[in-house]
Structure 1
Amino acid sequence: MRFQRQCQVIQCSIQLGQVQKMSPRIPVSSLGRLCVKFVANQLVQSLSDDEGLNYEAVKQYLSDVTHEVLQELLRDILNSIHLDAATRFSILEVLLRDDVRKLDTGIFPHSYYEKILEVIISRGVGLRQLNLKGVWARDHPALLTKLVGSLNNLKVLIIPHMANDAILQRIADCRNLNVLDISGESYFTADGLGYLKNENLRILDVGYYGKKEICEGSNDDTELVSRVIRNLPKLREIRSYSFTGNSLFHLQNSSYITNITLLRDTETTQEIFHVISRLCPLLESIHLNSPKEGVIPHLKDLKRLIYLKICKGSVAEITQYLASHQSNLEVIKVASCQDKPLDLTFVAQGSPRVNTLEFYHMHLTISRPELFFMYLTNIEILYCNMTDNCLRQILANSPLLRRVMIGCAVNFTDGDLFRLCADIEFLFLEELWLSCAKSLTAISIELLMNHCPKLRFLGQMNGWDITSEEVEFFRTVIQVSNIDLTLLPTVF
């Protein structure tokens, strides 16, 4: 039986070159991209020696190059996982110039941290965007403080797990700063956080998701965060911290109106939600974790809401909210709400403009198959209780789908998939993930390749009824035919 099926696969694959409607061909790289790769390779060869014999020659050669070119080369080389740290550091030394505006250091070993900070201090004075995620500068607080103090033009600074009071005091002098990431472990106090007074800061990433404390040695910093909000009048987003609503509650008696557009909150009460809706009239995105009874129906008070995520809420209340009025929601994410099945009919009715749906650990149904998701492009369903018929109706009623990820058991056979493709064109489908489809065989790979003109990712093959030899055969066909399709996982 296995041999017979492999013969069918080979016979179908021979016809791939004759079929016009199939996965796209790999496009030719742009001339600019090819030039960046070529020059990057030449730089690596020239600067990979330990003695630095070519440093000055390379600097002279690149002296007239624009900062945009240097930024592209630095981004490509510093973030390469195939280059050793010594070569990448040499390239940082040579390419970093005072007119370079963006720098993402990439990941380096501990022995390079101090040297990297010193190079940036001496040559990175023009930086407007700096990402130090791959350099554990916390071990060199004095140098990091000096570095921040020397970068007067910074607009974006990403230093998670590194900030202390002295660094925050320096950050306060960066008057043009728009984005600041000081999330994760904290080494600053409430007094240090009080230094953050900035007229331009719009995005602040601070604290840990799920924890009220953000300062060293504290237990509840919701009141402190409320003071931070007052000190940052143009603040639009507080990321990572998941008790922003609780913080706003400390401003309930204030006439202060925020510019916040994105907010996360945990165990939101009706009283807290009323404060949120009053103080955040521009709110577009909200993430509620374990909201209390009666909160979700009041989401209708948020007139600008386009992004909604709810964890451990009530399906009955979600249904009530969706059924009560037609919203402008474009993204809906629901997780671990299991008091009753969620009927996706109400999603289609209540949020006709939704383009992204994500469900985790839910029970999903659909009662009216005639309703369409006319704008849906992305759907992700993980660890959910859902029938094959429900999935079939979702796929059939979503004409613009680009990405489909199904992380629960699917009982589709090759015949079922054939009938589905006969009914649906899948003209825009780029990614299809069926992680546990034990009845699908290699025949379905050939079918999807021939039917979906934009399909670029297909998986997970290790959850299908397919052998590694069959997968490798198709990969060979894909490579020979120059087809832009990846079968996942890449290592079977």
Structure 2
Amino acid sequence: MSPKCPVLPLQEMTLSLVGRQLIHTLSKITTDEDVALHFAMVSSYYETMGATTDIFQDLLNLILTSDYLDPAVRYYTMKLLLRENIKSLATGMFPLPYYKRILELIVEQGRHLTSLNLKGVWVKDENLPLMYDIIRNLSNLTSLNIPYIANDEVLKFIGEHNKVLKLLDVSGETDITEIGIDAMLTGNPQLTQSLTIINIGMYGEENIDHTDVALFIRRLPNLTNLGCYSYVGKALYHLYNNDCPPGFTSKLQYVHDIQTNMRTMKAIMALCPVIETIYLEEPDQGVLPLLKDTKYINKIKLNKFQCHELHQVLDKIGYKIITLMLSGSRGSFNFTRIAETCPNLESIEFYQCQTATHEEDVLFNKLEHVEIIQGNLSVSCLKYIMTGSPKLKKIIIGDEIQLDDNDMARMLRRYKFPNLEAVWFPNAPRLSLDTVELLMECCPKLSSLGQLSGWRFSPDEMMLMRAIIASTNTDLVLLPLGIFQQGT
């Protein structure tokens, strides 16, 4: 049977209760005059109860991540709980009238923060001076997320006032140039040693020139990740051929590149000896086989690639690969060959597979996660993937499922699927209530099943199953959610 709903930890139940009480109290504030009275009441209550900094931090996170709440309640929560010992703040989404008030609040009360995420607060033009004040005041930040906000002046302020930043997110549509990057990295050796992750630019767009991004690679010796930027290979190639010190290598562990040619790939291989994850879109012929010389790579993500080239490289380094994320394949993708060459594979995601084949039933001994959309899977291939993965935890198949209740019954009774936690077949017109009941009976860890709107499964049967699940305290979610389950 599917697992039973566990008893919620006392800490989680208490946090939820205290959070509801706080929301109820703050929702009564209608004027600025009400603020002092309600804050005094709540503060006195927390002091009497011996509330700790950890409780304040958890309450703050709980309420600010609840975007459905009135923004006034979330703002007053921030104003009440953002105190000296709070180290982390993620504002969440707010409407325009709150932007300035939130920035002023952080300037006044956020001096002790070490992590600040302003995603959801748009800072431009007239509010930028407040952003500069925040950077000036928060000199102990190790993590700063300001997507769609940064410009050259912001980067300059970061370079002047911070020495310990490790993660900087300045992604999105921004006005960043070589001038700002150089200003941030010049004269601050502590910062250049500290920074390890920079999210910059926008996926698929070179809105920041690759020659400017190359400055980060050249001058940040501990940089491991340039997230969001799709032309890292292009930046590496520029660095490799221009002002690259003899013997220079980076510590980049993740590289994303588009339309990679042989010259760029050779630059990636030369400058990124510790690369662990690579994402290549539309690589030229002959590029993929060069991956055979990597030492530490364990995750490959590809878009618009030749299957035979992927198989060639996996013949050499497949034993290292834990994750494959593939889309837009050309040619024949052989699942049996993947099982043979990638014995440590734990996750495979595939979108738009031109042709999928299999031969012998070689086991995927460590495969836990399978997600295939537009995979053109035959019935036998789907059966092979399911029954050949003894550790399978989650399977998502976006194509029409040709299996019927009898097919599923034979597989479930023989293989049991003891680790299976989630099955998502959104288009399975031959599966019915019988398969739902059998999945619940045979899979002791099954906790998510869907989308049943694409099954031969009536609304009355859905209501019946939900009633049985509720009455037996079974920890199983049937998708799509019912009207009374949405938002819970």
Which bracket does the TM-score occupy, shorter chain normalised? over 0.9
Does residue 168 of structure 1 match 2:165?
A: no
1:336-415 mapped onto 2 (5 Å cutoff): 336-338=328-330, 340-415=331-406
Following TM superposition, by how much is the alpha carbon of 1:365 offset from its aligned partner in structure 2, in angstroms? 3.2
Rounded to whole Å, the distance in 2 between the matches of 1:137 and 1:28 is 43
* TM-score (ref. length: structure 2): 0.92
Does residue 203 of structure 1 match 2:187?
A: no
Contact persistence 1:48–1:90 (CA under 8 A): no
* TM-score (ref. length: structure 1): 0.91
Q: 3-state DSSP class of the match of 2:147?
A: coil
Partner of 1:35: 14
Match of 2:178 among 163, 167, 190: 190
The percentage of counterpart residues that share the same residue type is 35
Q: Deviations for 1:37-69, whole angstroms, at most 9, x for unmatched residues? A: 111122122222221222123234435633221
* Structure 2: unaligned runs, 5 residues or longer: 186-191, 484-488
Rounded to whole Å, the distance in 2 between the matches of 1:241 and 1:82 is 31
Following TM superposition, by how much is the alpha carbon of 1:91 offset from its aligned partner in structure 2, in angstroms? 1.2
Following TM superposition, by how much is the alpha carbon of 1:468 offset from its aligned partner in structure 2, in angstroms? 1.6
Q: 3-state DSSP class of the match of 1:273?
A: helix
Q: Deviations for 1:121-142, whole angstroms, at most 9, x for unmatched residues? A: 1111111111111211235211
Does residue 226 of structure 1 match 2:220?
A: no
For these two proteins, the number of residue pairs brought into alignment is 464
Does residue 289 of structure 1 match 2:281?
A: yes
* AA aligned opposite 2:309: E
1:442-481 mapped onto 2 (5 Å cutoff): 442-481=433-472
Rounded to whole Å, the distance in 1 between the matches of 2:45 and 2:151 is 41
Higher relative contact order (CA 8 A, sep 6+): 1
Q: 3-state DSSP class of the match of 1:358?
A: strand
Partner of 1:335: 327
Following TM superposition, by how much is the alpha carbon of 1:326 offset from its aligned partner in structure 2, in angstroms? 4.2
* Structure 1: unaligned runs, 5 residues or longer: 1-21, 215-220
Following TM superposition, by how much is the alpha carbon of 1:399 offset from its aligned partner in structure 2, in angstroms? 0.4
RMSD: 1.5
Q: Deviations for 1:347-373, whole angstroms, at most 9, x for unmatched residues? A: 112111010001110035343333111
Rounded to whole Å, the distance in 2 between the matches of 1:187 and 1:141 is 13
Partner of 2:264: 272
Partner of 1:11: none
Following TM superposition, by how much is the alpha carbon of 1:324 offset from its aligned partner in structure 2, in angstroms? 4.0
* AA aligned opposite 1:77: I
Does residue 122 of structure 1 match 2:116?
A: no
Q: 1:323 to 1:430 in 2, by over 3 A?
A: same
* AA aligned opposite 1:212: E
Rounded to whole Å, the distance in 2 between the matches of 1:146 and 1:276 is 39
Match of 1:57 among 27, 41, 56: 41
Q: 3-state DSSP class of the match of 1:404?
A: strand
Rounded to whole Å, the distance in 2 between the matches of 1:476 and 1:364 is 42
* AA aligned opposite 2:153: A
Q: 3-state DSSP class of the match of 2:431?
A: coil
Following TM superposition, by how much is the alpha carbon of 1:82 offset from its aligned partner in structure 2, in angstroms? 3.8
1:425-436 mapped onto 2 (5 Å cutoff): 425-436=416-427
Contact persistence 1:363–1:386 (CA under 8 A): no
Rounded to whole Å, the distance in 2 between the matches of 1:356 and 1:189 is 38
Partner of 1:142: 129
Following TM superposition, by how much is the alpha carbon of 1:261 offset from its aligned partner in structure 2, in angstroms? 0.4
Contact persistence 1:344–1:364 (CA under 8 A): no
Following TM superposition, by how much is the alpha carbon of 1:346 offset from its aligned partner in structure 2, in angstroms? 1.7
* AA aligned opposite 1:441: S
Q: 1:82 to 1:310 in 2, by over 3 A?
A: closer
Partner of 1:6: none
